[in-house]
Amino acid sequence: MNIFFPKEPEFESRVSLTLESAKKFLDKGLNISIEKSFAEHLGSSDKEFEDLGVKTLTRDEGFASASIVCSVRNLTEDELDKINQTTLLVSFLDPFNEKSLVKKIKEKNISAISMELVPRITRAQKMDALSSQANLAGYSAVIIASQELQKALPMMMTAAGTISPSKVFVIGVGVAGLQAIATAKRLGAKVEAFDTRPVVEEQVKSLGARFVKIDIGETGETEQGYAKELTPEQIEMQREGMKKVCASSDIVITTAQVFGRPAPTLVSSEMVSAMTQGSVIVDMAVGTGGNVEGSVPNKTINLNGVKIVGNTNLPGELPFHSSQVYSSNIFNLIDEFWNEEEKQLNLDVTDEILSICLVSHEKEYINKTIKEIMN
């Protein structure tokens, strides 16, 4: 069983294997190989990997010899042609937007696990890459916002007078939102938060923030713990309720995403215009359509004096730790389904985890939603 970890595209700072996880794989008796210059930008040389027992190969050599290929970003369709049939591909596949790639994966009889589809259940927590990356993204969003803001976040008592704390408003209290709240509080800001799920109010309060209550009618969450999609009427009610809070905030961080669908526009240009000049908005959903009207992927724009940050790879701003947890997620996933006696992975499509995160196997779509949109 050979596992190959290729280098990522130039725009991706994260990697799929760390020295720590490499040692765990090798201790299990697995053959591990990396592409040359795999993680040098993170301070891990090829020699350090080789000293552990990891092989260093060219990209094509790695693809040709691999039983499993693990990466952060998708491979290209041309690279799929370099992989053997029945190889297992593990990465953030982005299957709802990469339908052509998913179709080719199935046609070539490549098995593929989409890390963003790992279900949020207790047994799968250790391999939940979406949550581990969202955690770091929430932290990164606050740090970037604080750098863009022309104010200090904490209250300060000085001989020249008192500096009032900055106000931070977090929209969406999932994993990323909770980390954003916690980080902003640690930095001394006054924090408020809103979510369509009333059940998260206690979590917000436990972090020392104020939960903003807006009556938008019946809401709830999916089996996976995500907020259910709102109706257009509910979104408009939410905007009206948030307008005053946004106007009085120095920083607004939006995290609302609907898995597999475009993100809802929650902050209109009118709401942005009502904010004080010098305020900062971080749109964490900019890569899936954006929560903020006017936000642009991978750009910071200035709209009437308000900065709107559209960073699509916030975990990539912290590549050391985001790689550390992602690599651990991958090891835990492979370890969970590794059959020690047979020395191979047991890809049981009826398993409660694999039945959801396994996109394709033996020329069949496994995930029900993927099957519906591809057939």
Catalytic residue among 59, 73, 120, 210: 120
Lowest mean pLDDT among 11-20, 67-76, 133-142, 209-218: 209-218
Evaluate if residue 111 carries a pLDDT over 90: yes
Domain ranges, ordered by start, for the chain: 2-117+318-363, 134-317
What is the distance between the alpha carbons of residues 373 and 292, in angstroms, rounded to a whole number?
28
Q: What is the mean pLDDT of residues 219-226?
A: 57
Evaluate if residue 227 carries a pLDDT over 70: no
Catalytic residue among 13, 21, 128, 250: 128
- Is residue 131 part of the annotated active site? The answer reads yes
Evaluate if residue 219 carries a pLDDT over 70: no
Provide the pLDDT for residue 375: 82
What's the pTM value of the predicted model, to 2 decimals?
Answer: 0.92
Lowest mean pLDDT among 144-158, 216-230, 258-272: 216-230
333 close to 128: Cβ distance less than 8 angstroms = no
What is the distance between the alpha carbons of residues 133 and 374, in angstroms, rounded to a whole number?
27
**Residue pLDDT, tens place only, 167-200:** 999 999 999 999 999 999 999 999 999 998 888 9
Topology (CATH) of 134-317: Rossmann fold (3.40.50)
CATH number at 2-117+318-363: 3.40.50.720
Evaluate if residue 225 carries a pLDDT over 60: no
Catalytic residue among 73, 226, 248, 351: 226
281 has which bridge partners? 252, 308
- Is residue 128 part of the annotated active site? The answer reads yes
SS (H, E, C) the chain: CEEEECCCCCCCCCCCCCHHHHHHHHHCCCEEEEECCCEHHHCECHHHHHHHCCEEECHHHHHHHCCEEECCCCCCHHHHCCCCCCCEEEECCCCCCCHHHHHHHHHCCCEEEEHHHCCCCHHHHHHCHHHHHHHHHHHHHHHHHHHHCCCCCCCEEECCEEECCCEEEEECCCHHHHHHHHHHHHCCCEEEEECCCHHHHHHHHHCCCEECCCCCCCCCECCCCCECCCCHHHHHHHHHHHHHHHHCCCEEEECCCCCCCCCCCCECHHHHHCCCCCCEEEECCHHHCCCECCCCCCCEEEECCEEEECCCCCHHHCHHHHHHHHHHHHHHHHHHCEECCCCEECCCCCCCCHHHHEEEECCEECCHHHHHHHC
Q: What is the mean pLDDT of residues 63-85?
A: 96
**Residue pLDDT, tens place only, 328-361:** 999 999 999 999 888 889 999 999 999 999 999 9
What is the distance between the alpha carbons of residues 43 and 125, in angstroms, rounded to a whole number?
28
Lowest mean pLDDT among 227-241, 340-354, 355-369: 227-241
Catalytic residue among 65, 67, 125, 268: 125
Question: Strand 306-309 vs strand 300-303: parallel, antiparallel, or unpaired?
Answer: antiparallel
Provide the pLDDT for residue 303: 93
Percentage, residues of the chain above pLDDT 90: 86
Provide the pLDDT for residue 224: 56
Same fold? 2-117+318-363, 134-317? yes
C-alpha pair distances (Å), 358 with each of 99, 124, 335, 350: 15, 13, 16, 10
- Is residue 226 part of the annotated active site? The answer reads yes
- Is residue 120 part of the annotated active site? The answer reads yes
- Is residue 344 part of the annotated active site? The answer reads no
Provide the pLDDT for residue 31: 96
Evaluate if residue 259 carries a pLDDT over 80: no
Catalytic residue among 131, 132, 146, 328: 131
Evaluate if residue 25 carries a pLDDT over 60: yes
Per-chain mean pLDDT for the chain: 94
349 close to 357: Cβ distance less than 8 angstroms = no
Lowest mean pLDDT among 250-259, 304-313, 318-327: 250-259
